[in-house]
Structure 1
Amino acid sequence: MNESLLVYPDPPPPELVRTLDLGGYTWKAVSRPQEVDGQWLGAVVAVDNRPEDAFGFCRALHRQGGDVPVLLLVSGAHLDELEMRDDLYADFCLTPFHQRELEARLAHLVWRSGTVLRHELIEYGPLLVNTETYQASIAGRPLDLTFMEYELLKFLAASPGKVFTRETLLSRVWGYDYFGGARTVDVHVRRLRAKLGEEHAGLITTVRSVGYRFGLSRWER
């Protein structure tokens, strides 16, 4: 089975993209049922913008067989439209959604497929990040991180050596619609360095006039 999720429509809502990426899911956005091929872990369908098209996509997916479980993202204004359509979806999540709730529903969607995704640990030197349990440790010492500190550390550690601007970090970690300034990133980096400890604070490097980098670039190895 393809260990990926189908997402409709293409392009999908930015907040959904962020949750999928942070959750470590592989996914493919489609705009028509004809683009669906093979077996999938599940499908996430955003209903709100064009409800009839979204339900039409679900019906086409249902006719194709394969028992792909569908998670609908739907606002309260469209809840009534779920009546008499129980056969088209396995679960739904109200929008605007809380990230933690959608993460839980995505995990349940994957579980319904009978597949257990094994998220790899992110390891870099003394740092270990468990993307499944939201835990991190440095040289065997557990790190007491807030949710956003963890998300920032996970994002940086997943791409060692790559430089990210503050604007990119705000967009990818905090969300596309987050209006906090660059100071938000600076404050969280400072807290992360403090929690990593003096010996390991240098894992996060400031790149002057650009942003931040985790670990060494390939030129420094």
Structure 2
Amino acid sequence: MAHLLLLSNNASTGAEVLPALELLLHENRCLPANTEALSQIGDAEAVILDARTELIAARALAQTIHSTVNLPLLLVIGEGGLGVLNSAWHASDFILPTAVPGELEARIRLILSAAPEVVVQENTSGLTIDELSYTARIDRRMLDLTYKEFELLKYLSQFPGRVFTREQLLHEVWGYDYYGGTRTVDVHVRRLRAKLGTDHEQLIGTVRNVGYRFYTEV
């Protein structure tokens, strides 16, 4: 039996969000879907987030859950929302509200038994990224990054040498529901280079007429 925390602004019980949940033996609490609820995690082993509506707010909260409590996250999302799911949500898995008890039990079991995520990245460039504390260092110097700057640097460094178009980076880091233009990517890359400093700014290389890539050595 697992201890689950269900976050929803549209229901007061788990049965209203995910009827199959009430047919399982797990203990679950239902709290409002906001950041204040994260201070009441208690003994929860996983978080179930109601993402059936208010997708933008749900994605923001999912990212906060990942960066602050780092518990397995199961999204409850309708079929209409599946098109906006991507790695920026940091969800362990998702499930439709109409799922039967057997499927829900299997998904809960899988996210609880999954191997812990590697949260510290290090490479020969001198860059160290700690996903748990949302911090980044270059040659042991702490970088003062905004949330999106951190996410962009982390994403690029996960795929050294791979070239990404601005559109790809916009979708993967900002999400498909972001309506700003690709100029946003250029602005954040420029800020990242400034914060990396003159000795390391070339870690993020420009591929003319295409986009950007991350180099492990400069």
Is this a same-fold pair by TM over 0.5? yes
Most deviating of 117-126 and 78-87: 78-87
Asked if structure 1 preserves the Cα contact closer than 8 Å seen for 2:70 and 2:132, the reply is: no
Superposition pairs for residues 6-85 of structure 1, below 5 Å? 67=1, 76=10, 81=16, 85=21
Partner of 1:173: 173
Post-superposition Cα deviations, 1:172-198, rounded to whole Å, max 9, x if no partner, equal 000011111111000000000000001
Structure 1 CA distance, aligned partners of 2:20 and 2:154? 42
TM-score normalised to structure 1 length: 0.56
Q: Offset of 1:170 from its aligned partner?
A: 0.2
Percent identity (aligned):
44
Structure 2 CA distance, aligned partners of 1:120 and 1:76? 32
Partner of 1:107: 71
Distance 1:211 1:81, change over 3 A: same
Aligned with 2:159: secondary structure?
coil
Structure 2 CA distance, aligned partners of 1:101 and 1:127? 23
Aligned with 1:76: secondary structure?
coil
Asked if structure 2 preserves the Cα contact closer than 8 Å seen for 1:93 and 1:102, the reply is: no
Partner of 1:160: 160
Distance 1:206 1:75, change over 3 A: same
Amino acid at match of 1:123: E
Distance 1:84 1:169, change over 3 A: closer
Asked if structure 1 preserves the Cα contact closer than 8 Å seen for 2:135 and 2:143, the reply is: yes
The CA RMSD measured in Å over matched residues stands at 3.5
The reply on whether 1:119 has 2:53 as its aligned counterpart is no
Structure 2 CA distance, aligned partners of 1:153 and 1:100? 16
Asked if structure 2 preserves the Cα contact closer than 8 Å seen for 1:205 and 1:214, the reply is: yes
Asked if structure 2 preserves the Cα contact closer than 8 Å seen for 1:93 and 1:105, the reply is: no
Partner of 1:45: none
Task: Find the partner of 1:94 among 11, 34, 50.
Answer: 50
Q: Offset of 1:216 from its aligned partner?
A: 5.8
Q: Offset of 1:69 from its aligned partner?
A: 6.8
Consecutive unaligned residues of structure 2, counting only runs of 5 or more, are 29-46, 74-91, 93-110
Distance 1:74 1:148, change over 3 A: same
Structure 2 CA distance, aligned partners of 1:172 and 1:133? 21
Aligned with 1:176: secondary structure?
coil
Structure 1 CA distance, aligned partners of 2:139 and 2:121? 14
Count residues in correspondence.
Answer: 151
Post-superposition Cα deviations, 1:99-126, rounded to whole Å, max 9, x if no partner, equal 334425761669x948882524222221
Distance 1:127 1:216, change over 3 A: closer
Structure 1 CA distance, aligned partners of 2:62 and 2:119? 21
Distance 1:150 1:85, change over 3 A: closer
Most deviating of 124-133 and 188-197: 124-133
Structure 2 CA distance, aligned partners of 1:200 and 1:134? 20
TM-score normalised to structure 2 length: 0.57
Distance 1:84 1:197, change over 3 A: closer
Distance 1:167 1:85, change over 3 A: closer
